[in-house]
A and B are shown apart, each in its own frame.
Chain A
Amino acid sequence: MSTRAFAELDKGQTIGTRTVTFSRADLIRYAAASGDHNPIHWNERFAAEVGLDGVIAHGMLTMGSAVDLVSDWAGDPGAVVDYQTRFTRPVPVPDAAAGPPEEATATLEVTGTVGRLDEQAQTARIDLTVELLQGGQRTRVLAKSQAVVVLTQR
């Protein structure tokens, strides 16, 4: 259960912002840890053959890394009892032009706000905004990204 108290929250308040970066090495790591070895996440030629502009991040990597803001805020990742999202835009992760494959080539900004408070259930719904920052542009890559957190009753 979260260390946050229900009574101290207001709808619309922000829980913070975090930047998450991805490199080609991150995609390989996620493929290995998740068992999702779809080549669109590591092979440029294959990605192009299925109509993509290049290798893209696993949607589940974006979803999985975005929720850590909520886990930290809640104080207990196990307090996140429900988490959903829609994948609206791909996150391209190009090969770094030089240097090690650990070089980050995609940057996401994650912001969370309290979207709904359920007094009876003592839960807060955190709405996440996840944007790809690229060449001065911001592109939302997830939609309806919502995490429900069980809060301490005080």
Chain B
Amino acid sequence: MSINTERQGHTYASTAAYQVSREAVRDFAAAVKAQHPAHYDVDAAADLGYRDLLAPPTFAVVIAQRAEAAAVNDPQAGIDFSRVVHTEERFTHQEPITAADTLQAQTTLERIRVMGAGAMVTTVTDIRTVEGSPRATVTSSLLVRADDATDDAEEQT
């Protein structure tokens, strides 16, 4: 399988709506060892002005990765997931994500840069509520290692 640079710029269909539950926020916060009470206690979140439990700064990855799967699994893009190394991630929040948000995500294959026999693939995922209110932009870069490349690919990140 080889990468298809023609697919650069392609935007995939929005994901099915994702309902942010209090349990998902608490479980994610516990998993990343976040200690702030606004992730666990509705009153603590309300004290900071949030309508419900506040998701940790990287919670958006849960929704983004579901949307990015469309690009990663796109036969026309030709990304070999077994050779993928995650190299960069960025979250830009327009509004904090809180429990009770119902979100949709849409991924664009922003850039495909061929590097030797491998490639660097950057996706940009827009996350907003089903009502259209923007929440976060998630930029993710993946290195697709060449078949016979080993560690030299890692050094280029």
Contacts and interface: CB of A to CB of B under 8 A. Distances in A.
Given A84-B91, A86-B87, A87-B157, A78 B58 contact: no
Interface stretch (A8-16, A25-33, A94-102): A25-33
B141 to A, nearest CB: 8
Nearest to A78: B96
A71 B91 CA distance: 14
Interface residues of A, number: 35
Interface in A73-106: 76-78, 80-88
A41 B88 CA distance: 18
Given A51-B150, A78-B48, A59 B86 contact: yes
Contacts of B28: 33-34
Nearest to B95: A78
Given A34-B65, A76-B48, A78-B96, A147 B88 contact: no
Contact of B33 (A68, A70, A77, A82): A68
Given A67-B58, A71-B56, A88-B157, A77 B65 contact: no
Interface in A45-79: 50-51, 59-61, 63-65, 67-68, 70-72, 76-78
Contact of A72 (B35, B54, B58): B35
B50 interface: yes
A5 interface: no
Given A76-B48, A78-B96, A50 B82 contact: yes
Contacts of B35: 68, 71-72
Contact of A34 (B34, B61, B86, B89): B61
Contacts of A76: 38, 48
A63 B89 contact: yes
B113 interface: no
Contact of B87 (A34, A36, A71, A87): A87
B31 interface: yes
B57 interface: yes
A50 B33 CA distance: 28
Kindly state the interface size class of chain B when it binds its partner.
Answer: 35 or more
A133 interface: no
Most buried by A among B50, B56, B66, B82: B56
Given A30-B31, A30-B32, A77 B56 contact: yes
A35 B150 CA distance: 27
11 contacts: A33-B32, A34-B61, A34-B62, A71-B36, A72-B35, A77-B54, A78-B93, A82-B93, A84-B139, A85-B90, A87-B89
Interface of B: 24, 27-28, 30-36, 38-39, 48, 50, 54, 56-58, 61-62, 65-66, 82, 85-93, 96, 139, 150, 157
Given A32-B27, A77-B38, 12 more contacts: A29-B30, A30-B32, A33-B32, A34-B31, A60-B61, A64-B61, A65-B34, A71-B57, A72-B36, A78-B48, A86-B157, A87-B86
